[in-house]
Each structure stands twice: as C-alpha cells, then as structure tokens.
Structure 1
C-alpha cells in the first residue's frame, strides 16, 4: 500500500519532503500508531509531572500552614480549594485560547523547530526570578499548581497541534509552487 506522501507526490515523480517537527518527528504526517505512541508518551510524562508538582505544592503548603491556628488554617484551606478549582478552569481556558490563536497563524516547520530551541534555552528559574520567590508563593502554591495542571491537560488533549497544521500548509504551498 502506498503511503500518503507517495500518493500526493508531484506528477514529475519527485517525492514530497516531510519535515520533522519537535516531539513528533515525521510521524505527524500519517498519524499512524507511532504518532499516537509519541502523543501517549508525552501525555504520560506530563501526567507524572503534574502529579509530582501537585504533591510538591501540597506538601510545601501543608508545612507552611501547619503553624497557623486551626480557625485560620480552615478558612485559608477553603479559600485555597476555591482558588485551585478556579485556577484549573482558568489554565484550561487560557491554553485553549492560545491554541485557537496559534491555529489562526500556525508556525512553519522551521519556526516550530526554532521555538523549541528557544524554549529549551530559557532557564527555568527565570520564570520565578529566583528560588526565593517559591517561598513567597507557598500560601497560593496549590492554586498555581492547579493552573499548571489545567493548562497542561488542555495542551495534551488537543486534536492537532498548530505545528502540524503549519507543516501541512507549508507542504501545500511548496507543492503548489513546485
């Protein structure tokens, strides 16, 4: 059975170049079993990451609030529960909005690779401007972790990444020109 790339090859017989995308390689084109294994691997990794971040945030939070009076702790715990529930929803909605905007102007394969390189070069500590900022966030750390969980859950459950759509458009433009 001929692959999709060979069936869509130009009339002159030259093969279509399928660009490699970050995290997906060239599996995104046919969306076969290997593609879904890549997506599952990413999802499992992020589920583990979300669990570790949540446990870390709750442990720090419990250690911080254990010295408070029972009344203050109970009130703050309820405030934290409500804030965390709202943060999960906010993270989900925020990521879905970013995804919709990215679908309007999806990156080319070169832009996707460059964005991944830029992301990998950024130091994770810069986001918090130092380790001491985490200590200031401890009373609201569960809500911050909940936002991250909502954002990552929305990111992993999209049908198609913008980089895939951008690569398909890039290939169509190249095929139309060539």
Structure 2
C-alpha cells in the first residue's frame, strides 16, 4: 500500500486533508512565511496592474481631453477629479461590503474551486467585449480606473479571504476526534 503524500496528511486533530485553495495552496492553514509571500506576490502584481491600468486610463482620457476647447477642458478636468475621488471611495466601500457579506456566507473549498474554474472560462469573452466598451468610456476612464483601484486596494488589505474562512469552517465540520 502506498503512503500518503505529505500534502494529504491531515492537520492535527482532523481526519481529512487540508484543502488547497486557488493562489494560496495549503499555506492558508498555518499562515506562515509561504502564505505571506504569496499574499505579497499578489499585492505586488495587483499594484502593477493598478499602475498600468491608471496609466492606460489617463492616456486614453488625454486623447479625448486634447480635442476639447481650453475652457471645456478645464471644467471637464475638474469634473474628472471630483468623480475620481468619489468613485475611489465607492470602489473601496463596495468591496468592503461585499467582503463582509462573503464572510457571513463563505464558500466551501469545492465551491471556491468551481468559482475559480468558472471565472477562468468566462474571462476571454469579457476581454473582447471590454475593448469596445473602453472606447466608449474614454471620456470617463479616470473615474472608472479610480473605482477599480479603490476596489482592488480594499481587496488587497483584508485580513482573511472568504475562501479561507470557508475552508476553515469546512475543515472544522469534517474534523473527528483522534
């Protein structure tokens, strides 16, 4: 009989193996160095994405802005500054509310994996659709980019992801006394 792989050895006090979560693997259980390195890697990647998206949004906006007369340009820039500040806060608040709701009803490890698979299947179609919408949204791209930055910044600064809470609860439900 073959021995179990180290990744399938149950955690102390549990009769089932620790479930693996997308992007975190099994590091979420102990929250050690590998866990925090994974979170840091995600944070750095998302900061780069936010910077590139912001640069892209401002570049697209400047193309529209340059076509406006000087007075309209000044007014529209003021509108964009105010709209961007509002949408930055709106993105942060909406993510935090969604996170709070997700913590009340966290997904099981199986649901997390299914959601990740479904998301990966949907992405290419959304990218193709998004290209056309970006051109239409060019005049308000700074505000849209600010919402995305607010949402991602709030997502990156949570203490624990709902998938971790769900996996922890699932593990506790399936625990048996040794």
Provide TM-score, normalisation by structure 1. 0.89
Q: Is the Cα–Cα contact under 8 Å of residues 128 and 134 in structure 1 kept in the other structure?
A: no
**CA distance in structure 2 between the partners assigned to 1:37 and 1:167 by the alignment:** 20
Label 1:53 to 1:159 Cα distance change in 2 as closer, same or farther (>3 A).
same
- 1:29-74 CA distance string (max 9 Å, x none): 0000000000000000000000000000000100111011110000
User: Partner of 2:120 in structure 1?
Assistant: 120
The counterpart of 1:8, out of the listed 2, 12, 23, is 12
User: Partner of 1:53 in structure 2?
Assistant: 53
User: Partner of 1:77 in structure 2?
Assistant: 77
| Equivalent residue runs for 1:149-168 within 5 Å | 149-168=149-168
Partner SS state of residue 131, structure 1: helix
Residue 7 of structure 1 and its aligned partner are, at CA, apart by 7.1
User: Partner of 2:4 in structure 1?
Assistant: none
**CA distance in structure 2 between the partners assigned to 1:73 and 1:125 by the alignment:** 35
**CA distance in structure 2 between the partners assigned to 1:125 and 1:57 by the alignment:** 21
Provide TM-score, normalisation by structure 2. 0.89
**CA distance in structure 1 between the partners assigned to 2:156 and 2:40 by the alignment:** 9
**CA distance in structure 2 between the partners assigned to 1:91 and 1:128 by the alignment:** 23
User: Partner of 1:135 in structure 2?
Assistant: 135
Question: What residue ranges of structure 1 are gaps of 5+ in the alignment?
Answer: none
Label 1:35 to 1:173 Cα distance change in 2 as closer, same or farther (>3 A).
same
Partner SS state of residue 64, structure 2: helix
Residue 129 of structure 1 and its aligned partner are, at CA, apart by 3.3
User: Partner of 2:42 in structure 1?
Assistant: 42
1:63 maps onto 2:67 in alignment: no
**CA distance in structure 2 between the partners assigned to 1:148 and 1:41 by the alignment:** 19
User: Partner of 2:3 in structure 1?
Assistant: none
Question: What residue ranges of structure 2 are gaps of 5+ in the alignment?
Answer: 1-8
**CA distance in structure 1 between the partners assigned to 2:167 and 2:11 by the alignment:** 18
Q: Report the count of equivalent residues.
A: 170
